Structure formats: structure tokens, C-alpha cells
Structure 1
């Protein structure tokens, strides 16, 4: 994005890719912290079944913490999704969640 304020609804429908170029899914919704007025996560659906077949039931999605977002443009690039999902790292309740 060019630094100008954007409507958060512009994120919905964008494709999400890992920083390695692997398709992760499509943004269906955003998670907000209303007190701080910030986006805290992206609800991603239409996920790449090859990445999430053992962790996520069919028809479900994942909640990606917004701190994983590397850049936002025509698509959204995120860090660590593949690695964290494969290792099952659940040290924090907001690491990843099934939605």
C-alpha cells in the first residue's frame, strides 16, 4: 500500500502467499482489536490443502496473526506460515487458530 489510509475491507478477497511464493489462501475476514484500532489477524479461507491437510479440517480456514504479514499490495505476503503450521508451534493462543 502507498501509506495512505485504506479501508480494511480492501483486504477481503486478496490472495495470501508465503514469502517463498507458496499460495496460502484467500482473506475472508479480518480480526480487529477495537480498543487499539488495529488489525490483529487475517481469517484465511480457500486454503492450500497441501499445506494444511493434517492440521485443518476440510471446509475450515486459518487465522494468521497480522504480525506475520510482510507486505500488502495486490496480494498479501506473510512469513513463516508453512514452517509454523508444519511444526505445530502453539506456544501462544494467537499463533494460529482454526476458524
Structure 2
């Protein structure tokens, strides 16, 4: 089995830093949200989040959950699309980015 295509344990995501595709730090993966019915990761629970991207209430909370559909790439770090930055710029707190 090719090591590049071999399935990895989802726990390997825990502790990885998360950045937007523009290079802005978002936070660090603390846990995963799973849908056990379909055996799929549905979100990344982040802590140590970038306080500049989120409202003070969110920054003061324990963390956020980023929908897994926003993930663009996983390697030594996790890359998410820039929707997190756009939410901040527009002042539009999308419901799924929550503590």
C-alpha cells in the first residue's frame, strides 16, 4: 500500500495548526466533530484561535468549530479556505463558526 494514499487515523489531526489559504493563522486542532452514521469528519474543533479574526465573545470562549468542508488540504498543517477571513471582514458571524 502506498504510504501517501494509505488511510491515516483521524487523531493525527489533533495538534495541527490551521491556516487560511492566504496564510493567516486561524487556530490549532483540539478535537474533531464526527457524524458516526456516515462515518465522516464534519468539523474541526479549534482552540488557541486568532483573536483578530473573531468577535471578542468568540475569542474569549473555549474555541470554535470549523466545518470540515472548508478544509482545502491536510499535511503538516491544515489549510482552510478564506471564508474565515471573509466572515471577519464582513462582520457576518456564520452560524457554523461557533464556540
TM-score, normalised to structure 1, is: 0.85
Instruction: Work out the CA distance in 1 between the residues paired with 2:64 and 2:89.
Output: 13
Question: Displacement, 1:3?
Answer: 2.3
* 1:96 equivalent in alignment to 2:97: yes
State the structure with more CA Rg.
Answer: 2
Whether the 8 Å contact between 1:28 and 1:45 is mirrored in structure 2 is yes
Residue ranges of structure 1 left out of the alignment (5+ in a row): none
The CA deviation string for residues 10-62 of structure 1, in whole angstroms up to 9 with x for no partner, is 00000000010001000000000001000000000000111114451414211
* 1:37 equivalent in alignment to 2:39: yes
Question: Displacement, 1:82?
Answer: 1.4
Q: Give the alignment's Cα RMSD to 1 decimal.
A: 1.8
4+ residue segments displaced more than 4 Å: none
Residue ranges of structure 2 left out of the alignment (5+ in a row): none
How many aligned residue pairs are there?
A: 95
TM-score, normalised to structure 2, is: 0.85
